[in-house]
Structure 1
Amino acid sequence: MIARLMLTLGDMLRVLTTLAGGAARRAACRKGYLLGLITVPFVARAQELPSPQDSMAAARQVVRWVRAGAVEGSGPELTGVCVTIRLDGRVIGRGEVMGEAADALGEATRVAIERSLSDLPADWDVRSEAARARLCVGLELAGPLIPLDGASDMELALGVSPGLDGVAVRMGTRLAARFPLQMLPARENVAMALRSLVAELADDPARGLAEFAELRQAGYTFYRFRTVQMAQLDPRGAAFFLHRGGRVIEPDEIDMALLREMADGLAVHLLHRQWPGMEGYGFMGTLDPVTGKAERLFSNPVGQGLGISALCTYIRSRHADPGIADEARRAVNELVLELAKVEEGEAEPWSDAASSAGVVVALLDAQPWLEPDIESVDVLRDRCTQRVVESFSPQAADFAVGVDENAWGMLSYAMVRLAQAGQGGIRPEQADAVVRATYRNTPPTRLVSHFPWLGWADMALAGDGAPVKGSTLLLDTRRRIDEHQLDALNLSPDDRDLSGAVVYTTGSNPLPDWNSIRPLPLLADMLADQRLTGGTLSQGEASTELGHLLGLVRYTRQLCAESSDGHMYVRPERATWGVRMSLWDPRMPVEASALALEGACRTMAAVEALAGRTGGSNAGADGAQSP
């Protein structure tokens, strides 16, 4: 029997690049093919890192020095050290030493303390022990430097695992380094970090713009290194060991209690994302928790609609916390009123088909909690409905010219919901034509880009009991997702925090990010529907699919920020439970948290539906229909 071999992220990327070839791989990525984990042999590289005992002793020493405001004595001999001092989540001092310094720990701490003094509040008394006790310390201890191969940005990145590895550049006897927990909150990729270090060594910003092949010829050498990561989460507590800046969510943590906690936490996070001022901005834009600020004052109309719909799903969940649900009802009404009021700089919700579709669905979801007879809401509904209706030509049985193909799935669902509500003059057969056109015009390998909306539309059209017309393609797409889901058995221990993610992309970077969770809400609904998934919790297709679903839930939970990530955030209470773009990009789009909330609520419902089954055939396989 051939044993499964573990791959690091760097190994996975290297294999993909080597086997696919540059042009072929880029073409495959542009077409959106699912990229799976390729299991091939590789040579493991030993990471000679400081032991846990030595690391903990070093952390205690640094905390004592920072509390005292001075370095007294010396620490152990280390390859490299980065000490970060934070005040209320904000970095006020950082010191890094790389390259077998005699007292790297003490020197890095000394530099961090000196730099922190210039960035303290005006009323700060540095002599006060109570004041210094508010400081939190972060620490990274470096392993050996390992040369990086490659002459291009992508080739150099292949050997580096983001969030775990730092990079360094040597020129002659001089060495400069960027540690992983410096790169992660700054969203600095490998090429950016290396070019910045080159410019630093050359004392010339323009030098960092040269090609890497040219820099190698000029004498620059590039390295990567792994670190032990530690940080205080509370000024009064000990430093904790971290993995990619946080902690790994273990599979056995995923149960109904955690799903309820996820749903409550995600709902509260979305409530915190409302604009607090007088302007009608609704949800704020993508949050950067490192700075505590939103990239824009307001989210786009699609994000607004998804957020409203997700809160409505939470309100309807029987597992919702009553107090949070009451707050969500109030917020839903406010958010719709704010969406109907287009502020200066905002895009009109009816300006494009995708935005209009998202708003139409949100208005239908929110109807029970909206104030009646609000003229601005009626205008919003009419204009968005008109835009949705005009996006499809019944005569041609196809989408109108100029409609973005990425909007087809959302338009399909909006059309079905309008038909069910008796709005917009849409008949069920017209809505059905839109759904069939989406299936017909989309290559099977791209159908996942229309999840969850296309599947929701098809299931809603069928109603209760009748076969789902597109079940064959829905089940085939689920199979593709299952096949390309990262399994902990195929990953190195260092990359186990990626297990459950689905690796697919429309760009050139196959690393998993928040887009992995897009199909989660639909996969939960498909699992609960006996027309699409037969069996029970303990046997048959349902048991297998539940395992895949919970794996994706685990990865979703991994993307949610928690207290262990809060050491990097200015206002961790506002960031907690927000879904990050990836494990190495802390930004939080509203859309990501909205779909995660949909997924958590629907997964709870699916588990309960399975628990109520006493048997059943494999209806998902036997009852498949063509679209």
Structure 2
Amino acid sequence: MLTGATAVCVTLRLQGETIARAEGDGAESLEAVVTRALASADAKIPAANDALQQQARREMFKRVLAGVEVSGERLPLEAATFAQANSDVKHGLEAIWVEVGETREVIFPQRMMQSGDLPAAAIVSSIALLSGDPAIPMPGVAGQELGDLRRTKGVRVWRGPVVQMVELRAGGPGLLLMRSSRVVELREVNLPMLRQYREQLIDHIASRVARSPDGSQLFATYLPFQDRADSVASALQRAVLCATLVRSGDRGSKLARELLGDVIKFDATSLNEPTTAAACVVTMAWLGSDATLADESWKAALEKTRVVIGKSHDGENWAETVLPGSRAMVALAMAELATTFAVDATREVDLSRARSGVRSLLMQATPGALVTHMPWLGYATQRLAGEGEIASAPALREMRAMLWERTIRAESGQADLEGGIVFGTRDARDASGIAGPTWSTARPVAFAAAMLRDERLTDADELYPQLSKLLPSMRFLRQLSIDDASAFACPQPKRAMWGVRVSPWDQRQPIESSAMALLAVSEAVTSIEEMGRRAAKHQLETSDQPKSSPTK
């Protein structure tokens, strides 16, 4: 018997696949639950017909890994609606008990994480199963909501905290997890770790590229616990990814050239869409004008995008074809066309249009709204300022200060969320109703990292205080990546490794999340390296100064 436990779940896995699961209440010993799980696994693995098969079967069992979840005190879930359950249950941290009449079921966090079910969906499925009638629970339907079923069908639901531990290797020590992941410690985040993480992110992105004679394809979203890709990335997604790859260095730039080259060659019509055209221009500019103009097909694509982007803003207003969420990327492309790819005959007009587009976004945005335009609007302000002063520096500094105010701190009680940024109000929730930070933290943090090495945006005496505020967000992004510990339940660990999840409770890996995390980490590495060079230069200059003679 486990003291204080109200339920226990033992899961056995072989190469990421669940082969057995057994559950027990607090009155049952852990050994008894493990024994039942082993018996279930033994029944599922094919019987041996000879000595050779028996040996193979024994070797197979040696590779089985165990995971244990133990729940503590349970509390009634009083949610009136199924949707409210998503808010009330700490997804990934709490188990859910569902009772219908005399039947009951316990749903542990790992099961929900692996299936992709939110608490509400898990409760709906459980009520349907226990009642034998899938039409009884109907979210959003009067009389069939959770509160209604509590009164009319005797449905009762509880929730309770769970401690989770897994084996990463057979016979090895158990590792304590939080939301099915190891908690990355802030002390682990340093320059060597960030350099390595940058390369690991590129590894993951490269693994999602499928090459063929008709051009490369990129998986848009990967579901690591199901080993399934649910769609192919659009030209826009690929073009934005290319821009982030270029900022990561030579290796990323090589992959960006390949991917963008395929967009230009095999998906040229996509360049008629302003945001896709803009992302292509930005990638070309960051790769370098010489590389772009040396290739005739790229040169032709550049001129095509110049026309498309020229119609996006008339110097006063944005075209209806450019959605508000895309305007920052288009503004950055306008800035690059007016500078990196400037045409003498239209240089002043192009600069005026680009400045007008950037100014319109800055003037309409509060510090909170400014975040939604990052990092692209931040880059645009730097590009247009050249070596001069950045007029919007006070607004950008204010935005950065607001970011750090909204950063979740270690003392929050949820260590895996440290460094994540909550946008909007403190209890802001995502589309599913769950409160907490997501991969969108990477968007503004990418520019906050770039601000470190711009003396117009960060004074010398601010460098290390600002770096100390940035590092927790780097920790959070690393937390979102699947690593050796969180890959324990993935059928194809190598395919899932280092991909960035939507959030600690949402295991999906959109290509955007890995792309923006790569951009943020790359900017942090570049800025920290620049800080090191400045410090070394200052030390050298100081040591070269003649020492004053002592007075007599």
Question: 1:205: which partner in 2?
Answer: 134
Question: 1:43: which partner in 2?
Answer: none
Moved more, 194-203 or 270-279: 270-279
Count of residue correspondences: 517
Is the counterpart of residue 458 in structure 1 residue 384 in structure 2? no
Change (3 A) 1:460 1:229: same
Alignment of 1:267-286 (within 5 A): 267-286=202-221
Amino acid at match of 1:599: A
Amino acid at match of 2:175: F
Question: 2:544: which partner in 1?
Answer: none
Superposed CA deviations along residues 10-42 of structure 1, whole A, max 9, x for unmatched, are xxxxxxxxxxxxxxxxxxxxxxxxxxxxxxxxx
C-alpha distance in 1 between matches for 2:42 and 2:423: 43
Amino acid at match of 1:156: A
Question: Could you tell me which of 110, 121, 124 is aligned with 1:181?
Answer: 110
C-alpha distance in 1 between matches for 2:137 and 2:272: 42
How far residue 503 of structure 1 moved from its aligned partner, in angstroms, is 0.2
Question: 2:256: which partner in 1?
Answer: 332
Query: Is the contact made by 2:500 and 2:510 (CA closer than 8 Å) also made in structure 1?
Result: yes
C-alpha distance in 1 between matches for 2:368 and 2:84: 27
C-alpha distance in 2 between matches for 1:556 and 1:81: 31
Change (3 A) 1:121 1:269: farther
Query: Is the contact made by 1:85 and 1:116 (CA closer than 8 Å) also made in structure 2?
Result: no
C-alpha distance in 1 between matches for 2:319 and 2:65: 57
Is the counterpart of residue 475 in structure 1 residue 397 in structure 2? yes
C-alpha distance in 2 between matches for 1:279 and 1:146: 57
Question: 2:527: which partner in 1?
Answer: 606
How far residue 514 of structure 1 moved from its aligned partner, in angstroms, is 0.5
Change (3 A) 1:382 1:237: farther
Change (3 A) 1:122 1:214: farther
Superposed CA deviations along residues 140-177 of structure 1, whole A, max 9, x for unmatched, are 12223221122023433333211111111123332211
C-alpha distance in 2 between matches for 1:256 and 1:558: 16
CA RMSD of aligned residues (A): 2.9
Amino acid at match of 1:287: Y
C-alpha distance in 1 between matches for 2:407 and 2:266: 41
- The percentage of aligned residue pairs carrying the same residue is 27
Question: 2:361: which partner in 1?
Answer: 438
Change (3 A) 1:107 1:486: closer
Question: 1:155: which partner in 2?
Answer: 84
Structure 1: 5+ residue runs without aligned partners? 1-48, 52-76, 317-324, 616-627
Question: 1:144: which partner in 2?
Answer: 73
Moved more, 117-126 or 358-367: 117-126
Is the counterpart of residue 421 in structure 1 residue 340 in structure 2? yes
Amino acid at match of 2:263: L
Question: 1:57: which partner in 2?
Answer: none
Question: Could you tell me which of 405, 422, 437 is aligned with 1:512?
Answer: 437
Is the counterpart of residue 503 in structure 1 residue 422 in structure 2? yes
Query: Is the contact made by 1:353 and 1:403 (CA closer than 8 Å) also made in structure 2?
Result: yes
Superposed CA deviations along residues 500-542 of structure 1, whole A, max 9, x for unmatched, are 1110158564421101111122101112111111133xxxx33
Moved more, 239-248 or 362-371: 362-371
Amino acid at match of 2:363: R
Amino acid at match of 1:309: A
How far residue 192 of structure 1 moved from its aligned partner, in angstroms, is 0.8
| TM value normalised by structure 2 | 0.86
| TM value normalised by structure 1 | 0.76
How far residue 443 of structure 1 moved from its aligned partner, in angstroms, is 4.1
Amino acid at match of 1:566: A
Superposed CA deviations along residues 220-246 of structure 1, whole A, max 9, x for unmatched, are 111112222122222353332212111
Change (3 A) 1:341 1:204: farther
Amino acid at match of 1:91: T
Question: Could you tell me which of 226, 237, 243 is aligned with 1:303?
Answer: 237
C-alpha distance in 2 between matches for 1:268 and 1:418: 31
C-alpha distance in 1 between matches for 2:65 and 2:254: 38
Query: Is the contact made by 1:333 and 1:370 (CA closer than 8 Å) also made in structure 2?
Result: no
Alignment of 1:202-351 (within 5 A): 202-209=131-138, 210-217=144-151, 218-296=153-231, 298-316=232-250, 325=251, 328-342=252-266, 348-351=269-272
Query: Is the contact made by 1:92 and 1:120 (CA closer than 8 Å) also made in structure 2?
Result: no
Query: Is the contact made by 1:305 and 1:358 (CA closer than 8 Å) also made in structure 2?
Result: yes
Query: Is the contact made by 2:292 and 2:299 (CA closer than 8 Å) also made in structure 1?
Result: no
Question: Could you tell me which of 479, 497, 501 is aligned with 1:576?
Answer: 497
C-alpha distance in 1 between matches for 2:34 and 2:149: 28
Change (3 A) 1:462 1:122: farther
How far residue 332 of structure 1 moved from its aligned partner, in angstroms, is 2.9
Superposed CA deviations along residues 275-334 of structure 1, whole A, max 9, x for unmatched, are 1444423422111111222211x2122321232222222225xxxxxxxx3xx4543332
C-alpha distance in 1 between matches for 2:339 and 2:2: 63
Superposed CA deviations along residues 366-418 of structure 1, whole A, max 9, x for unmatched, are 35796976565445434333222211112xx1211242000111111111111
Question: 1:59: which partner in 2?
Answer: none
How far residue 204 of structure 1 moved from its aligned partner, in angstroms, is 1.4
Structure 2: 5+ residue runs without aligned partners? 139-143, 540-552
Is the counterpart of residue 485 in structure 1 residue 407 in structure 2? yes
C-alpha distance in 2 between matches for 1:111 and 1:446: 52
Change (3 A) 1:234 1:276: farther
